[in-house]
A and B are shown apart, each in its own frame.
Chain A
Amino acid sequence: MSLQTTDRRLTQTQAIIEAIRLEMRRDPSVVLIGEDVAGGAGRPDKPEPEGWFAARGRGLIAEFGDQRIIDTPIAEMGFVGAAVGAAMTGLRPIVDLSFIDLIGVCYDQIVNQAAKMHYMMGGQIDVPMVLRTTYGARPGATSYGGGAGAQHSQTMYSVLAHIPGLKVVAPSGPSNAKGLLISAIRDGGPVVYLENRFLGMSARENVREEAFETEIGKAQIARPGSDVTIATIGRMTRVALEAAERLVQEGIDAEVVDVLTLAPLDEDAIVESVSRTGSLVVVDEDTPTASMARDIAARAADKAFDYLEAPIKTVTAPESPVPFSAALEKLYVPNADAVIAAVHNQRGI
């Protein structure tokens, strides 16, 4: 081994920036568009971006310059739409919608334009773009996304997964964050790339240095087990893993299936796991009505009913907007206790 080993324990945000850097080096048509992606940087007196927004792309402006790291005014409908038009005409934009809560401002361009263009044009136009955005409440965090209130803390990805034509992916940590983003950039159509706000800086993981793809549309078994399947999305995978470790002490061996892709969902992987474990708990930090949690539960009820030995349980946020007070916000996001309680409830413990 070389003496000059590099520390490859990266945060998710570092892994994401690395994925963008590698793809931008490989393919000159890849550009990054969004508010403060350059942080006003690029000027001689201001070489690095500044602030929370800019930290999501730190270092990119210095390498790629302002022709490819494109700051925008606050105009989500305009710049997301511009990314759609750019994708139709030869660029492969990564468009940064800093908060999923802003989806309402630009929903038409995602839902009616990006998602449907290929289909309604009879396959003649491709829209190879990535919509990168963040979701989730962050109880206890001190910057955006923690104590940020009802309009900057939402999860709400089901409103995107619902739309045919959009692929929607949610990494659960630095490694698959890198692989999924590289796959998303290389995909021929629009991919929504969801970053949990808690995960950005909190988790570190060894991440392979070279470019690699994590296949879109494939779930992964994050922890093999034989007694109960816990299907998870994004950071909830980590919450479920913590719960699984504690359940071992009770003699319950949980399998954690990290769905990774919300649409198209890897239904087969969930059914296959349930066929071995006989029960399913779904953990989703979104609100429950018309949610991914209930969609996964319904699919399992439809396709895996014969294997089920107990009722399917879902663990979600409550049916409410995200509250501000830290005292309430910490109760809002599902935690390991809630997952364990669901497993107990399912087993009549």
Chain B
Amino acid sequence: MTTAADRIEAPSLEKLRFMYERMVLIREFEERLKRLVDTGLPIGAAHYYSGEEAVAAGVCAALEEGDWITSTHRGHGHGIAKGIDVKPMMAEVFGKATGTNRGKGGSMHITDVRVGMLGVNPIVGAGAPHAVGAGLSAKLLGTGAVTASFFGDGAASIGAVHEALNLAAIWSLPVVFVCENNGYAQSTPVEYALAGPGIAARAAGYGIPGQVVDGQDAVAMWQAARRAIGRARAGEGPSLIEARTYRYHGHSTSDNPLRYRTADEQELAQSRDCIVRMRAHLLKSEALTAAELDSIEADARARIDEAVEFAEQGPLPEPWEITTDVYVTRTKGDAL
């Protein structure tokens, strides 16, 4: 039987615009940050999301306010897609007191709980059990919230993810597991690291739906996420989406990807760029005009200009902040 959630829907103009805006904003954030780092900005470790924007934008377009996400070390895109303000995000990367985490987290811990973002998490796979917990909260407290848990192809091999899939399945929790398969765990190719027919196929072992989706196609991501989220919200349990995607830069700020993959492979991936494709789709379908798309792109550049300025001008944390927030000092009810 085909249910409403199974029918392939077309996203509304509002959703299309949302996805395009978020994708270009993520790209602009990452490319600007990379230029700053490449010209000497000392920010510590960062992992650029460029190339994978359609995954975060498609999934977050299908989520609602009040829903949660868990993220990975490559989490800037997830944060922006879920609605974190790029100004405090950039300030956090710069280590400023005006950052999302008051300069105590950095790129690998950017969080804004107010928009439902439970944290960039650089312990690979560690966010997946948190999504199970958020699902448990939603179920027991009756909030109706769905949690999307992003993880990479590298995390597909760690026990935390498998335990999380099993727990979410046996408890029938409202969780959508989204694997961003970008082909490499640092420099280790997915073909080497994964036994069996693939990541999505592993869903069958947990008795939940698993699906491979073109992660370079935001509309396809939205459609797959919408089905999985609808199922989760209806109390039918978790799903696994494997998004086939590609990262344009190295694993982090420190590596040269041409040491472990070819220029031809990179060019082929970039020829399927998610933003270029969506722009073409929006023009062809006459959803948005070239002028409107140009305006969205100019707006993203302006917002990142502002974010960089905000980050540069923000104060550094005071020395006494070293030992604040080690323990929770407020009592229940005072939380944000």
A residues near B (Cβ < 8 Å) are: 29, 31, 67-68, 70, 72-73, 75, 77-93, 108-109, 112-113, 117-128, 164-165, 167, 186-189, 264
Contact = CB atoms under 8 A, between A and B. Distances in A.
B119 A82 contact: no
A126 B333 CA distance: 11
A86 B136 contact: yes
A119 B326 contact: yes
Interface in B83-110: 99-105, 109
B136 A91 contact: yes
Nearest to B111: A121
A90 B137 contact: yes
B326 A164 contact: yes
Given A81-B132, A82-B129, A118-B328, A29 B141 contact: yes
Nearest to A187: B328
B132 A122 contact: no
A231 to B, nearest CB: 23
A90 B332 CA distance: 10
Given A89-B137, A124-B113, A81 B328 contact: no
Contacts of B102: 122-123
Contacts of A118: 325-328
Interface in B103-150: 103-105, 109, 111-114, 118-119, 121, 123, 126, 128-138, 140-141, 143, 145
B133 A86 contact: yes
B256 to A, nearest CB: 29
Contacts of A82: 129-130, 132-133, 136, 164, 167
A75 B161 CA distance: 11
A82 B167 CA distance: 9
Contacts of B70: 85
A188 B132 contact: no
A188 B327 CA distance: 8
B104 A91 contact: no
Given A82-B133, A90-B137, A189-B328, A120 B109 contact: yes
B49 interface: no
A187 B328 CA distance: 8
Interface string B314-331: 000000000011111111
Interface of B: 68, 70, 99-105, 109, 111-114, 118-119, 121, 123, 126, 128-138, 140-141, 143, 145, 159-160, 163-164, 166-167, 170-171, 324-332, 335-336
B164 A123 contact: no
A264 B138 CA distance: 33
Given A68-B140, A125-B111, 14 more contacts: A31-B140, A70-B171, A72-B167, A77-B163, A78-B132, A79-B129, A84-B130, A85-B70, A85-B129, A89-B145, A108-B123, A122-B104, A128-B328, A188-B330
B129 A124 contact: no
B132 A85 contact: yes
Nearest to B164: A78
A89 B99 CA distance: 22
Given A79-B167, A85-B70, A164-B326, A125 B113 contact: yes
A93 B133 CA distance: 10
Contacts, number: 166
A84 B136 CA distance: 11
A324 to B, nearest CB: 29
B332 A86 contact: no
Contacts of A31: 136, 140
A264 B323 CA distance: 13
B328 A86 contact: no
A121 B167 contact: no
11 contacts: A73-B167, A78-B166, A81-B130, A82-B164, A85-B118, A85-B134, A88-B130, A90-B137, A113-B121, A118-B326, A126-B328
Contacts of A119: 104, 325-326
Given A78-B166, A122-B104, A86 B137 contact: yes
A78 B126 contact: no
A307 to B, nearest CB: 27
Contacts of A128: 328, 332
Contacts of A93: 133
B275 to A, nearest CB: 30
B159 A121 contact: no
A73 to B, nearest CB: 6
Nearest to B175: A85
B137 A122 contact: no
Nearest to B121: A113
Nearest to B329: A188
B112 A81 contact: no
Given A90-B143, A121-B119, A123-B324, A108 B126 contact: yes
A326 B141 CA distance: 48
A89 B123 contact: no
Contacts of A123: 102, 324-325
B123 A112 contact: yes
B332 A186 contact: yes
Contact of B140 (A67, A80, A83): A67
A189 B331 CA distance: 10
A122 B105 contact: yes
Nearest to A33: B136
Contacts of B134: 85-86, 88-89
A123 B141 CA distance: 23
Please list the 4 inter-chain residue pairs (A to B) with the smallest Cβ-Cβ separation, ordered nearest first. Answer: A85-B133, A81-B129, A78-B163, A85-B130
Contact of A124 (B103, B112, B136, B331): B112
Contacts of B330: 126, 188
A10 B163 CA distance: 37
Nearest to A164: B326
Nearest to B328: A188
Nearest to B167: A78
A81 B126 contact: yes
Contact of B160 (A77, A87, A122, A125): A77
Contacts of A73: 163, 166-167, 170
B154 to A, nearest CB: 15
A165 B121 CA distance: 17
A125 B119 CA distance: 9
Contacts of B324: 123
